[in-house]
Amino acid sequence: MPYILCVYYSRTGSTEKLMKEIAQELKCEIVKLEDGVDRSGISGWLRSGMQAMARKLPPVREFKTVLPLTAYDLVIIGTPVWAGRCSAPVRSFLRDYGQQLRRTAYVITRASDVRYEEVFEQMDLYVQEPHAAAVTIRPGSVGAEFWRDSFLASIRNGGKEKPGHAG
Ligand SMILES: Cc1cc2nc3c(=O)[nH]c(=O)nc-3n(C[C@H](O)[C@H](O)[C@H](O)COP(=O)(O)O)c2cc1C
């Protein structure tokens, strides 16, 4: 069995729910990223949007994994879309640790019908190899579970296929 790690940031729980489902299906370790920034309420929303637009890199808190990051065969990274980009804490994680990750797959969640597939390429700028699989999901949409399961199938299949998106 490959060693898989799920890492995610979630401000309001949607990415967290999805990543927990994915980790449970894959029976793999899961780690939540935290930063010290107050992202609550309207001011937190605005701060988060501005940080994402400015590609700010707020420090992420130290986190523990069972293995060193370099030892995982695959790291699945989950992030909400913020202002058309990956969330600031995930960008910080990628900046700090991206070069240690041997293979990556991405899970992005969003509120609109826009798929934001360009976020995958933005995230690839920080890692050694282009992502092996990726999915963009609007939580609660028709088809969200189908695309989650397609992503899981692609991971189980070695991550060669890119399952795409949910509406
Ligand atoms: C600051 C901010 C900016 C956002 N920008 C976008 C956006 O550009 N497009 C979009 O579809 N959703 C956007 N969203 C919505 C979130 O991506 C979406 O609700 C996501 O699933 C939330 O995940 P979470 O509950 O794990 O934080 C934004 C949310 C926040 C807080």
Q: Inform me whether the pLDDT recorded for 163 exceeds 70.
A: no
- Probe ligand 1: pick from 39, 56, 81, 113, max atoms within 8 Å of CB? 81
CB distance 82 to 108 below 8 Å: no
Sketch the domain layout of the chain as residue ranges. Answer: 4-165
Q: Kindly report the average pLDDT of the chain as a whole number.
A: 95
How many angstroms separate the CA atoms of 115 and 106, rounded? 13
Work out which ligand 1 atom sits closest to the CA atom of 18.
Answer: 26
| 95/53 Cα distance (integer angstroms) | 16
pLDDT, one tens digit per residue, over 1-39 is 789 999 999 999 999 999 999 999 999 999 999 999 999
**Cα 87 to averaged position of ligand 1 atoms, centre (Å):** 8
pLDDT confidence tier of residue 46, bands split at 50, 70 and 90: very high
Cβ-count burial 24-47 (b if 16+ within 10 Å, e if not): eebebbbbbbebeeebeeeeeeeb
Q: Looking at residue 132, what is its pLDDT? A: 97
Residue 88 is predicted with a pLDDT of 98
Ligand 1 and 45: CB distance under 6 A: yes
89 lines ligand 1 (CB under 6 A): no
The DSSP symbol for 47 reads H
| CATH label, 4-165, candidates 2.40.160.40, 3.40.50.360, 1.10.645.10, 3.90.580.10 | 3.40.50.360
Please give the pLDDT value at position 159. Answer: 74
Q: What is the pTM of this model?
A: 0.96
What are the pLDDT digits (tens) for 127-142?
A: 999 999 999 999 999 9
Of the candidates 161, 162, 153, the residue with the CA atom closest to the CA atom of residue 120: 162
* pLDDT value for 164: 57
Check pocket membership of 78 for ligand 1, CB cut-off 6 A. no
Q: Own/partner pairs for 130-134, CB < 8 Å, 24+ apart? A: 131/104, 131/105, 131/106, 132/74, 132/103, 132/104, 132/105, 132/158, 132/159, 132/160, 133/105, 133/106, 133/159, 133/160, 133/161, 133/162, 133/163, 134/105, 134/106, 134/107, 134/108, 134/162, 134/163
Residue 56, pLDDT above cutoff 60: yes
Check pocket membership of 109 for ligand 1, CB cut-off 6 A.
yes
Ligand 1 atom nearest 46 alpha carbon: 1
The reply to whether ligand 1 has any atom less than 6 angstroms from the CB of 139 is yes
Residue 161 has pLDDT above 90, yes or no: no
